[in-house]
């Protein structure tokens, strides 16, 4: 399949070359150059800036199924990676339509300018519905995305590079996305007309240590909004060093790459932490890390789950939530040993979306309860975790919803 925008005869200035030799031509946007990555699609209608800065997308090119991206411009607040100078997030992006001029009171710059500043290579003017259908049928492909304003490409060389890339399986990207050193977080969630407020030291009732595999800012904000001061530590921090911080709770963050590869150093640490009975909560990659630590297995998904409209059932409440998803690996529910309860499943494909350790204050979910972007149906999970901290202090529980 070769695709060129049908309404123009202009020379293509960008192209996506898949490992099977498929060439998709279009107009270049964002940064110039080329990069090898996996191509996925995201079905969210809003929040493109948060999506592109989510560290879980490191090593991936995001195809947006929504046709109009860029209408609200870009700013310096709607980013999710903790260290924006390192630019952890998606490495490429694909749009159906050209980026329009921004029309929003919070816009600080044009999206194309922002993409250039982040080093994100982009392609516009293609049939994203056809590409999405291809991914659904064949799975998320390895590819090269390239942008040259002069339209000069060595297509055979690009095909060879796409074929040669090993892909995300076996790749530990948490060491790339993690913080280089420990730090503190106290910024609370965004409030209309008030922006971001800071958690006062006097209100910081609980201390949570976040093991950073590529954490999103809005996760940390929601902890701060529940009176938790957060200490962020690198992914390779030892259990001894974490316990020396005297945490009330431990958080296993989201992040990119193959959980089995990250698990080589993360799993022994998590196993040691579970034994302490300190309340522990994991999200996304953190969920997968916890599953590996208790004896489960993970597997690469056909196309992954990426969007803000995924239905998930919580067996602990019997309710169905619409949630944000962003993962290309999943926990094999059949591999979970005795003593591990499956708490959530995806209603799209019945894949595992949550677990808890029987008799211990330890649980995790595959989806992103912090949203950003997405619905807030699962915000209660943060209160569920904080209630574990409150119980240990002899304090009454918060209402989960």
User: What string of DSSP letters covers 234-263?
Assistant: ETT--HHHHHHT--SEEEE----S-HHHHH
- How far is CA 351 from each of CA 39, 135, 259, 275, 304, rounded to the nearest angstrom? 21, 19, 16, 27, 11
The structural domains of the chain, with segments of one domain joined by +, span: 2-164, 174-392
Beta-carbon-side half-sphere exposure of residue 225 (alpha carbons within 13 Å): 16
* Structure confidence by residue, pLDDT tens digits, 28-82: 999 999 999 999 999 999 999 999 999 999 999 999 999 999 999 999 999 999 9
Positions of E strands within 168-318: 183-185, 187-191, 195-198, 206-212, 228-234, 249-252, 280-283, 297-314
* Structure confidence by residue, pLDDT tens digits, 316-368: 999 999 999 999 999 999 999 999 999 999 999 999 999 999 999 999 999 99
Give the pLDDT confidence score for residue 85 in this predicted structure: 63
Give the pLDDT confidence score for residue 83 in this predicted structure: 78
Active site residues: 284, 368, 370
The dihedral sign for the CA sequence 381, 385, 391, 397: negative
Location of structure tokens 């009330």:
248
Which residues on adjacent β-strands are paired with residue 314? 319, 344
Q: Would you state the CATH architecture of domain 174-392? A: 3-Layer(aba) Sandwich (3.40)
Give the pLDDT confidence score for residue 264 in this predicted structure: 97
Torsion of CA 339, 362, 364, 240, to 10 degrees: -120
| 2-164 placed in CATH 3.90.226.10 | no
Which residues on adjacent β-strands are paired with residue 36? 144
């Amino acid at each position: 399949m070769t695709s060129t925008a049908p309404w123009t005869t202009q020379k293509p200035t960008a192209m996506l070359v898949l490992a099977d030799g498929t060439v998709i031509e279009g107009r270049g946007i964002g940064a110039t150059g080329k990069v090898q990555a996996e191509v996925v699609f995201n079905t969210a209608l809003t929040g493109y800036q948060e999506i592109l800065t989510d560290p879980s997308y490191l090593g991936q090119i995001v195809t947006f199924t929504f046709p109009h991206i860029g209408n609200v411009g870009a700013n310096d607040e709607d980013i999710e990676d903790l260290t924006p100078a390192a630019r952890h997030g998606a490495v490429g992006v694909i749009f159906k339509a050209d980026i329009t001029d921004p029309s929003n009171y919070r816009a600080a710059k044009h999206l194309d300018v922002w993409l250039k500043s982040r080093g994100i290579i982009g392609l516009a003017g293609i049939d994203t519905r056809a590409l999405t259908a291809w991914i659904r049928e064949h799975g998320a492909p390895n590819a090269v995305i390239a942008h040259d304003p002069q339209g000069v490409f060595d297509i055979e060389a690009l095909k060879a590079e796409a074929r040669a890339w090993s892909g995300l399986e076996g790749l530990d990207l948490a060491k790339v996305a993690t913080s280089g050193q420990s730090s503190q977080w106290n910024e609370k969630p965004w409030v209309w007309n008030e922006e971001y407020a800071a958690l006062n030291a006097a209100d910081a009732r609980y201390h949570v240590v976040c093991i950073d595999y590529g954490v999103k800012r809005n996760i940390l904000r929601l902890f701060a909004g529940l009176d938790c001061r957060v200490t962020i530590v690198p992914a390779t921090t030892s259990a001894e060093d974490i316990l020396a911080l005297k945490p009330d709770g431990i958080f296993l963050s989201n992040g990119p790459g193959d959980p089995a590869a990250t698990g080589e150093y993360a799993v022994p640490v998590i196993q040691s932490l579970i034994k302490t009975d300190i309340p522990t909560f994991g999200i996304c990659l953190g969920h997968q890390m916890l599953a590996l630590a208790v004896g489960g297995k993970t597997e690469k998904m056909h196309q992954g789950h990426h969007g803000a409209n995924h239905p998930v059932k919580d067996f602990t409440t019997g309710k169905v939530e619409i949630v944000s998803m962003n993962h290309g690996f999943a926990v094999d529910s059949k591999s979970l040993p005795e003593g591990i309860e499956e708490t959530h499943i995806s209603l799209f494909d019945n894949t595992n979306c949550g677990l808890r350790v029987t008799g211990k204050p330890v649980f995790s979910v595959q989806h992103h309860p912090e949203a950003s972007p997405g619905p807030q149906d699962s915000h209660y999970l943060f209160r569920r975790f904080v209630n574990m901290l409150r119980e240990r202090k002899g304090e009454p529980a918060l209402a989960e919803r």
